[in-house]
């Protein structure tokens, strides 16, 4: 499972890789956590996220959009994926993190250059974030 | 999607405009046209922005050409610096063609004193501005609007604030569309968007948003400068922000809704982020009502910040100076508006582009009608900004539009690799610019060298006849989120 920020003049583009589809969602969470970050402190917190979407790439966008919302409104900085179930366009996940002021915010998750696909045993994804 | 790699892939129309013919791709309905000189065009070819402009040229209902201003750079879906006019009623509206930061824009205040008269009160004034206006991630503003007051702001814009004694009636007249886009409907704005925006009125946010204290260092057009109340040596304050989390969520909601409706309208797109629907469709009408509400929120946001600027001025320079602080104008950068051009009713998308109507337009405040609409072009942090005025060429060539800034030339990551925030802060302060910014990382991402040369950008729009230079403003203090 890995993520990599690639050059994008205007925004932030992230490439994701994993050996499973759920790994892509975990990788996206790790990329988001690295982007928003937070200083020390803050109470531990857990959020359960339930989402549906018409297709897998859109579910990835919805997943990140949920993290955007939680960071901005709930001041929830995610740290790790405690559990995830993914089936037929439905996602249920438990996210562990802290209630703390994010250092940075993401405005939105775009559909531009969006990818979530499988190549043999490896899964890869791509998403562009408006920051 | 054939990539564009050199100027030879474009047809030069004249010294400041280039075109990719509609025949370049089977799916293009109109040409893609960019305003640039050769040097800017070489820089523009370094990213994917012209391919994105070609994608815009495929949208149903587009007329004339998909246009790009000289500050164009790669965005998502639409390029930043893009303009697309769709014929109504059935041409499409694309939320991505407005962007997530709906009605991101700038407001200029002219202060009644010069830099020399400010003297050693510069640092206290910048400090007071940073205290008066919350900046940074998700900072909550001081207004505490109830849900019903927030909904009135969405429907009516800053007028609701004037009724509460915040800002002045004359500020409304000196705001694009008087600070209120028609057709706004708070009910079209989701609960989640309300939640994200509820506490953020009166806050600048982060990213490239800022409050800048400036000096008018040169006047190019004395008649227009006089009409705008600007003179050499005078202090100004430029406020750059938008609709904050509320606008971001409105765009998110409607990109999703239109993406789901594409098949129903038989729309096939080269980039999913261009999701759109006929402006006359239920999805199109709902988006336009929500977009207008978010735009009105943004006008109210800048209005509240301008009031905070006056309060900061009062604390440092006295009540009289605050009372004489005059709003020059407020312009939107990211919005879609219904306008008449050449006898047709069009929906003009401007994403990172500014309306620039010439003298005589009834859309301009009466006091400016003889000279034209004021336009403000922020430079990159540490470089000059410009006051321009709309010229007749904008109506003939760009649906009444000009550029909106310098335009990014370098990614945030690369900017951070080239300079640390602390070092940049030292460099700016060594040049006499007082900096207040909570994030060194955020500061480095907005380093001046990460942007194109704003002087060259405004020179191109002037030579193209879209807008004329009125005054150059140089920064002496900046508050960043």
Q: Are B21 and B31 in contact (CB under 8 A)?
A: yes
* Nearest to B336, CA basis, from B420, B399, B256, B253: B399
Average pLDDT over residues A27-56: 92
Average pLDDT over residues A104-127: 94
The ranges of chain B with pLDDT < 50 are 1
* Nearest to B16, CA basis, from B470, B462, B475, B473: B462
Q: What angle do CA B33, B36, B41 make, to 5 degrees?
A: 95
Please state which CATH number belongs to domain A2-130: 3.55.10.10
CA–CA distances in Å: residue B235 to residues A23, B212, B329, B469: 54, 10, 15, 18
pLDDT for A37: 84
Active centre residues of B (catalytic): 404
Q: What angle do CA A62, A66, A68 make, to 5 degrees?
A: 115
Query: In chain A, where are the structural domains located?
Result: 2-130
Question: φ, ψ for residue B458 (rounded to 5)?
Answer: -70, -30
Place of tokens 């939107």: B332
Rounding to the nearest 10 degrees, give the CA dihedral for residues B271, B279, A129, B247.
180
pLDDT for A94: 98
> pLDDT of B394-430, one tens digit each?
999 999 999 999 888 888 888 888 899 889 899 998 9
Report d(CA B250, CA B335) in Å as an integer. 13
Contact B137 A102 (CB under 8 A): yes
Nearest to A108 among B73, B248, B411 (CB): B248
Q: Are B296 and B180 in contact (CB under 8 A)?
A: yes
Strand partners, B478: B212, B435
Contact A9 B73 (CB under 8 A): yes
Interface pTM (ipTM) of the complex? Answer: 0.94
Q: Are A63 and A38 in contact (CB under 8 A)?
A: no
pLDDT for B1: 46
Contact A10 B73 (CB under 8 A): yes
pLDDT for B138: 60
Contact A107 B138 (CB under 8 A): no
Is B269 within 8 Å of chain A by CB? no
H-assigned helices in B142-280: 147-156, 159-163, 169-173, 191-197, 222-228, 244-261
Q: The tokens of B124 are what?
A: 């206290």
Residues 6+ apart with CB under 8 A from B151: B186
Q: How far is B208 from chain A (nearest CA, A)?
A: 10
CB pairs under 8 A between A and B: 100
Give this prediction's pTM: 0.96
> pLDDT of A16-34, one tens digit each?
999 999 999 999 999 999 9
Mutate to test the interface with B, among A9, A38, A128 (most CBs of B within 10 A): A9
CA–CA distances in Å: residue A43 to residues A26, A100, A101, A103: 22, 7, 11, 16
Q: How far is A109 from chain B (nearest CA, A)?
A: 8
* Chain B residues touching residue A109 (CB < 8 angstroms): 252
Q: Show the domains of chain B with their CATH numbers.
A: 7-409+451-480 (3.90.1860.10)
Contact A11 B76 (CB under 8 A): yes
Average pLDDT over residues A116-122: 94
* Nearest to B50, CA basis, from B35, B60, B29: B35
Question: φ, ψ for residue B156 (rounded to 5)?
Answer: -115, -10
* Chain A residues touching residue B101 (CB < 8 angstroms): 107, 130
- pLDDT above 70 for A73: yes
């Amino acid at each position: 499972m890995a993520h990599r920020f690639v050059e994008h003049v205007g925004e932030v583009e992230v490439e994701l890789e994993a050996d499973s589809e759920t790994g892509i969602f975990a990788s996206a969470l790790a990329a988001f956590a690295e982007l928003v970050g937070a200083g020390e402190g803050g109470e531990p917190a857990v959020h359960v996220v339930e989402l549906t979407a018409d297709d897998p790439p859109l579910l990835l966008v919805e997943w990140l959009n949920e993290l955007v919302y939680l960071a901005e409104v709930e001041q929830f900085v995610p740290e790790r994926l405690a559990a995830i179930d993914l089936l037929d366009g439905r996602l249920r996940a438990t996210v562990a993190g802290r209630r703390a002021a994010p250092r940075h915010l993401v405005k939105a998750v775009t559909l531009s250059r969006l990818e979530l696909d499988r190549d043999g045993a490896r899964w890869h994804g791509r998403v562009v974030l408006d920051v | 999607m054939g990539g564009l790699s050199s100027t030879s892939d474009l047809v030069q129309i004249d010294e400041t405009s280039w075109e990719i013919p509609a025949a370049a791709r089977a799916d293009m309905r109109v040409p893609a046209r960019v305003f640039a000189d050769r040097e800017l065009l070489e820089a523009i070819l370094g990213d994917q922005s012209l391919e994105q402009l070609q994608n815009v040229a495929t949208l149903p209902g587009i007329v004339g050409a998909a246009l790009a201003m000289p500050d164009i750079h790669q965005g998502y879906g639409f390029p930043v610096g893009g303009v697309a006019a769709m014929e109504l009623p059935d041409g499409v509206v694309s939320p991505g063609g407005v962007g997530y930061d709906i009605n991101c824009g700038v407001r200029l205040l002219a202060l009644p004193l010069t830099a020399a008269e400010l003297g050693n009160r510069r640092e206290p004034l910048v400090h007071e501005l940073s205290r008066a206006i919350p900046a940074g991630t998700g900072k909550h503003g001081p207004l505490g609007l109830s849900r019903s007051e927030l909904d009135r702001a969405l429907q009516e814009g800053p007028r609701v604030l004037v009724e509460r004694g915040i800002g002045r009636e004359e500020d409304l007249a000196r705001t694009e569309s008087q600070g209120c886009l028609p057709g706004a409907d708070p009910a079209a704005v989701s609960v989640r968007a309300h939640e994200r925006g509820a506490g953020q009125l009166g806050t600048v946010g982060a990213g490239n948003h800022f409050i800048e204290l400036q000096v008018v260092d040169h006047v190019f057009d004395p008649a227009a400068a006089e009409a705008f109340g600007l003179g050499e040596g005078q202090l100004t304050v430029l406020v750059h922000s938008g609709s904050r989390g509320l606008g971001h969520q409105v765009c998110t909601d409607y990109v999703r809704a239109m993406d789901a409706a594409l098949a129903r309208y038989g729309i096939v797109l080269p980039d999913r982020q261009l999701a759109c629907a006929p402006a006359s469709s239920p999805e199109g009408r709902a988006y336009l009502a929500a977009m207008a509400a978010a735009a009105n929120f943004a006008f109210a946001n800048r209005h509240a910040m301008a009031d905070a600027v006056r309060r900061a001025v009062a604390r440092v320079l006295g009540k009289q100076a605050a009372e004489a602080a005059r709003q020059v104008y407020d312009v939107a950068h990211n919005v879609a508006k219904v306008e008449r051009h050449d006898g047709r009713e069009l929906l003009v998308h401007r994403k990172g582009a500014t309306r620039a109507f010439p003298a005589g337009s009834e859309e301009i405040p009466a006091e400016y009608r003889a000279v034209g609409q004021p336009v403000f072009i922020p430079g990159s942090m540490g470089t000059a900004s410009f006051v321009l005025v709309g010229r007749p060429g904008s109506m003939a060539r760009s649906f009444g539009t000009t550029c909106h800034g310098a335009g990014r030339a370098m990614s945030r990551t690369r900017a951070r690799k080239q300079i640390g925030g602390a070092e940049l802060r030292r460099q700016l302060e060594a040049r006499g610019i007082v900096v207040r910014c909570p994030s060194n990382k955020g500061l480095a991402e907005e380093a001046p060298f990460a942007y194109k040369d704003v002087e060259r950008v405004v020179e191109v729009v002037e030579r193209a006849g879209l807008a004329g230079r009125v005054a150059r403003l140089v920064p002496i203090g900046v508050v960043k989120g």
